[in-house]
Amino acid sequence: MIKIAVDGMGGDYAPQLVVEGAVQAANSFHDVEIVITGKEDAIKRELYRHKVPGGKISICHASEVVEMSDSPVQAVRKKKDSSLSVAIQLLKQKEVDAVVTAGNTGAAVAASTLNLGLLPGIKRPGIAIAIPTLHGISVAIDVGANIDPTAEHLLQYAIMAEIYARYLLKKKKPSIGLLNIGEEESKGTEALQEAYKLIRDSGLNFVGNIEGRDFFTGKCDCIVCDGFSGNVVLKMTESILEMMIKLITKEIQKDFLARIGALLCKPAFESIRRETNYEEAGGAPLLGVDGVVIIGHGISSAKAICNAIRVARESVVEHVNEHIIEGISSRIGNHANLPSKTTPIPKVNP
Which spans of this chain sit near a second copy (rule: CB under 8 A)? 69, 71, 134, 144, 147-148, 179, 181, 184, 186, 188-189, 211-217, 226-229, 231-241, 243-244, 246-248, 251-252, 254-255, 257-258, 260-269, 271-272, 275-276
Q: How far, in Å, CA of 308 to CA of 300, rounded?
A: 9
Give whichever of 232 and 338 is closer to a second copy, judged by the CB atom.
232
Residue 251 Cβ vs a second copy, minimum distance, rounded to whole Å: 4
Residue 192 Cβ vs a second copy, minimum distance, rounded to whole Å: 9
Residue 10 Cβ vs a second copy, minimum distance, rounded to whole Å: 16
Q: How far, in Å, CA of 35 to CA of 59, rounded?
A: 5
Residue 93 Cβ vs a second copy, minimum distance, rounded to whole Å: 31
Q: How far, in Å, CA of 32 to CA of 202, rounded?
A: 37
**Among candidates 349, 350, 346, which has minimal Cα distance to 156?**
346
Give whichever of 42 and 191 is closer to a second copy, judged by the CB atom.
191
CB 308 within 8 A of CB 100: yes
Residue 74 Cβ vs a second copy, minimum distance, rounded to whole Å: 10
The set of residues, in sequence order, having a beta carbon less than 8 Å from that of 93 and lying 6+ positions away, is none
Residue 247 Cβ vs a second copy, minimum distance, rounded to whole Å: 5
CB 135 within 8 A of CB 326: no
Give whichever of 238 and 326 is closer to a second copy, judged by the CB atom.
238
Alpha helix locations (H) across 137-226?
A: 151-167, 190-200
Give whichever of 245 and 317 is closer to a second copy, judged by the CB atom.
245
For the chain, the maximum distance between any two Cα atoms, rounded to a whole number of angstroms, is 69
Q: How far, in Å, CA of 309 to CA of 261, rounded?
A: 39
Residue 334 Cβ vs a second copy, minimum distance, rounded to whole Å: 29
CB 318 within 8 A of CB 167: yes
Give whichever of 156 and 193 is closer to a second copy, judged by the CB atom.
193
Residue 31 Cβ vs a second copy, minimum distance, rounded to whole Å: 35
Give whichever of 25 and 145 is closer to a second copy, judged by the CB atom.
145
Q: How far, in Å, CA of 99 to CA of 88, rounded?
A: 7
Q: How far, in Å, CA of 21 to CA of 191, rounded?
A: 40
Q: What are phi and psi of 208, to 5 degrees?
A: 95, -165
DSSP-assigned beta bridge partners for residue 22: none
Q: How far, in Å, CA of 309 to CA of 101, rounded?
A: 9
Give whichever of 1 and 263 is closer to a second copy, judged by the CB atom.
263
Starting from the edge strand earliest in sequence, which strands make up the sheet with 32-38, in order? Answer: 57-61, 32-38, 2-7, 98-101, 292-295, 284-287, 126-133, 136-141, 222-224, 175-179, 205-210
Residue 292 Cβ vs a second copy, minimum distance, rounded to whole Å: 24
**Among candidates 239, 283, 315, 278, which has minimal Cα distance to 18?**
283
Give whichever of 244 and 338 is closer to a second copy, judged by the CB atom.
244
